[in-house]
Amino acid sequence: MLAVAVIGGMLKPEYFMLASLLALRAARCYLCPLSTSKSWLSTKASPLGDTNILLMGPPGAGKTTVAKIVAHKLGIPVIDIDIDVLETTWKMPVAAKLATVGGQRFLEEEGQALCGFSASGCVVSLTGSNPLHTEAMQHVTQSGLVIYLDVDSDDIIQRLDRMKVNRIVGQAAGVSIRDILLYRKQFYEKWLDLRVFCGRGDTVEEVVEKVLLAVERYQKRDEETYVSTRCDGAELDGHKTYFTNVVVEGLAADGGLYVPKKGFPKISKKEWLRLVSMTYPERALVLLEKCIHPLDISASDLRTMILKAYGSNFSSERVAPVKHLIHNQYVLELFHGPTASFKDLALQLMPQIFAHCLPPLCNFLTLVATSGDTGSAVLSGFCQLTGADRHRTGVLVFFPEDGVSEIQKLQMMSHKAGNAKVVGVLSDFDFCQKAIKRMFGESGLTGSLAVEYGTVLSTANSINCMGSVVYHASAYLDLCRDGVIGFGEPVDVCIPAGNFGNSMSAVYAKQMGVPIRRVISASNHNRIISDFLTTGEYDLRGRPLLPSHSPAIDILRSSNLERFIHHVSDGSSRLVKELFTFLDTQKHFQLPKHLLGRMRQEVQAGWCSEGDCLAAIHDVCTQTGYLMDTHTAVAKVVADRLLDGSCPMVLCSTAHYGKFAPAVFKALQIRDIPQDPVEQLKKLEISASRPGVHAEMEKCLRDGGRRGHSVCQADYSVLVEEVESMIQDSFLKVV
């Protein structure tokens, strides 16, 4: 059971630990008392007490050898299922048994033997085929932590070759070893607690080291906590914020943004090399497992979510493909998701993670401020939820009534999900974002919603970075796979920046070990980020928000800069708090001199005029047949200006051109523009040879129709009323 306490007006799940690891895993909401975890760790003999360490993986993965060394290092017994269980039960060698009874019968008898097995406090190496037997695995996984030795197939095949093994259990005639390894993988990924991701050619010693580190990581969930950019851990009286809390809360109560306390994990070159040949969902799974502690989301749950998010809802099978544009410039196409902007990459996954982390018995209303694209992407993501998850979550979107394109509006209106509402505000994006932040800060408001309606407010803006790290890594890996670069060679990345989330993700990808040389942040004529990175002064004074052809980056209060300053100041929350409090009252701040240099080492910046943006769309289309959207064009112009030709440049294409059709018509100097948005898309499609039409967007415009939306004044109290009435309409009142 999960205890829910009202702390400062917000519901916070409090975790405490049960004595046994197994109960931990069995219960969906594990509870971890921080006080006992230390004593639990100090058991000298085995780090896991009575719990076994079960090594699982294909033949040739090194289970037996690794198990022996791990057991030796921990000073605990080792059991080999093949030798110590099967051969003693059957009184004959395993190979003889297999030859006698045949594959199918062998699997069954092997499973039955495992069902009778019991041990505690040991390292156990399972057989390669054990995971194919459900009942046996249900039995044995009760006794310990299952560690999957995920070894590269080429390495396995070489080893089996050396061991003169040419067939493995369950391999029918005509099926290659590679195919059977692929088939087996789904079983290993079903049963694992922890993955030990082995690099190409890792030695036994390296694998042993990784197993020990994995066990240690599993136990030390306390070390993977999050802090607010405005508050260091010390001030929190030992209260720890886990990934789960961050997902549910969204924004920190002190107004800051959450960041992982230890930063993002560094991944070794040998591991990156293995990721080169993997698909997008496979890469996402390995990378996110490293970022999310298994006690927050288990590896097998994470896998289900990732397959749902990236399995079939993207029109490109490669999810985020990289295409050659011209010379050594490449386009990272981030618009193949259901709503045609890069927001889908994060937001097809986020609602599933959110639903998974929600404590029971509460309703959740996600508040979204959008400059156009986040709104539809959040709505689309939440629409994928089913059953109870769908009933107890709602989405309320505020957007600037006159600041988004007609197509963006239609996309937002087209969602017929249960608890969803969109409201146009007669102001700009910054107003909407600030109003939401203010609601979070008012404990009177959040408290009364919690008490009266059992409803907690959340935002969609907080952990999106994590999903975005994956595509920056994936783009680099694609360039390696296609032979454009070798791993380790530099690339530059140019990103149209508004709230700076996408740019920040590239900085985090760099931290994880992706060899990105320069992250370049591109602004339109609302160039506050570009000015800030140039001068170190963030200055809102006398700077009105100018309308532009790239409305998704018409932002002056760029919220993720807070994460960036936290990053370059090595986590100085005091500085961040000082600067942003000063910004609230004085409308500007100056970054200390020594940090300006560090900031520019990480990210460089430039900006693009309206005229240059349209000219770039026109020129690139004429030269290459490729049609860019206006945001991509902003990146292209800035990239051209900073190009030094010494390495490839990846342009982040954050939207499909169809989303901003009127501006693109203008750029192409096409005059008679059809009224109907669907006709507009059709006309643009024949003006360029690539990329192709966005079928999902077209479908949405076709049957979206015009559902009404309400429009409200730029008045904070009116927005609060919208929140309250939405909650009253969506969720039952708690009596």
Ligand X SMILES: *Cc1c(COP(=O)(O)O)cnc(C)c1O
Ligand Y SMILES: *[C@@H]1O[C@H](CO)[C@@H](O)[C@H](O)[C@H]1NC(C)=O
Binding mask 639-678 for ligand X (x = CB under 6 A): ---------------xx-----------------------
Sign of CA dihedral 171, 175, 178, 183: negative
User: CB–CB of 121/52 below 8 Å?
Assistant: yes
How many helical (H) and strand (E) elements, i.e. helices and strands, does the chain have?
33, 22
* Rounded-to-integer distance, Cα 591 and Cα 587, Å: 14
**Tokens found for residue 481:** 């796979």
Decide: is 386 part of the binding site for ligand Y (CB under 6 A): no
Please pick, from the candidates 380, 455, 474, 604, the single residue that binds ligand Y as defined by CB under 6 A: 380
Q: From the CB of 337, what's the least distance to ligand Y, in Å?
A: 8
* C-alpha count within 13 angstroms, C-beta hemisphere, residue 106: 22
Please, what is the end-to-end C-alpha distance for the chain in angstroms? 22
Decide: is 313 part of the binding site for ligand Y (CB under 6 A): yes
Rank residues 78 and 635 by Cβ distance to ligand X and give the closer one.
635
Which one, of 653, 19, 657, lies nearest residue 332 by Cα?
A: 653
* Rounded-to-integer distance, Cα 498 and Cα 555, Å: 5
Decide: is 526 part of the binding site for ligand Y (CB under 6 A): no
Decide: is 312 part of the binding site for ligand Y (CB under 6 A): yes
Q: From the CB of 440, what's the least distance to ligand X, in Å?
A: 19
Rank residues 259 and 480 by Cβ distance to ligand X and give the closer one.
259
Q: Answer with the entry of ligand X, ligand Y, none that 496 interacts with (C-beta below 5 to 8 A by kind).
A: ligand X
Sign of CA dihedral 169, 172, 178, 181: negative
Which one, of 36, 45, 40, lies nearest residue 15 by Cα?
A: 36
Question: Applying CB under 6 A, what is the total number of residues that bind ligand X?
Answer: 16
**Residue with the shortest CB distance to ligand Y:** 338
- Own/partner pairs, 296-304, CB within 8 angstroms, 24+ separation: 296/221, 296/224, 296/242, 296/243, 296/244, 296/357, 297/243, 297/353, 297/356, 297/357, 298/25, 298/193, 299/189, 299/192, 299/193, 299/194, 299/195, 300/189, 300/190, 300/191, 300/192, 301/356, 303/189
State which H helix or E strand residue 480 sits in: helix 464-481
Q: From the CB of 348, what's the least distance to ligand Y, in Å?
A: 8
User: CB–CB of 255/437 below 8 Å?
Assistant: yes
Rank residues 130 and 405 by Cβ distance to ligand X and give the closer one.
405
For residue 307, the Cα-to-chain-centroid distance in whole angstroms is 13
Decide: is 338 part of the binding site for ligand Y (CB under 6 A): yes
Binding mask 690-719 for ligand X (x = CB under 6 A): ------------------------------
Q: Answer with the entry of ligand X, ligand Y, none that 114 interacts with (C-beta below 5 to 8 A by kind).
A: none
Q: Answer with the entry of ligand X, ligand Y, none that 337 interacts with (C-beta below 5 to 8 A by kind).
A: none
Binding mask 551-590 for ligand X (x = CB under 6 A): -xx-------------------------------------
Decide: is 320 part of the binding site for ligand X (CB under 6 A): no
Amino acid at the residue 370: T
Q: Answer with the entry of ligand Y, ligand X, none that 313 interacts with (C-beta below 5 to 8 A by kind).
A: ligand Y
Phi, psi (degrees; rounded to nearest 5) at 522: -110, 130
Decide: is 500 part of the binding site for ligand X (CB under 6 A): yes
Rank residues 228 and 499 by Cβ distance to ligand X and give the closer one.
499
Rank residues 221 and 409 by Cβ distance to ligand Y and give the closer one.
409
Contact positions toward ligand X, by CB under 6 A?
A: 341, 343, 373, 496-503, 552-553, 631, 654-655
Contact positions toward ligand Y, by CB under 6 A?
A: 312-313, 338, 380, 696
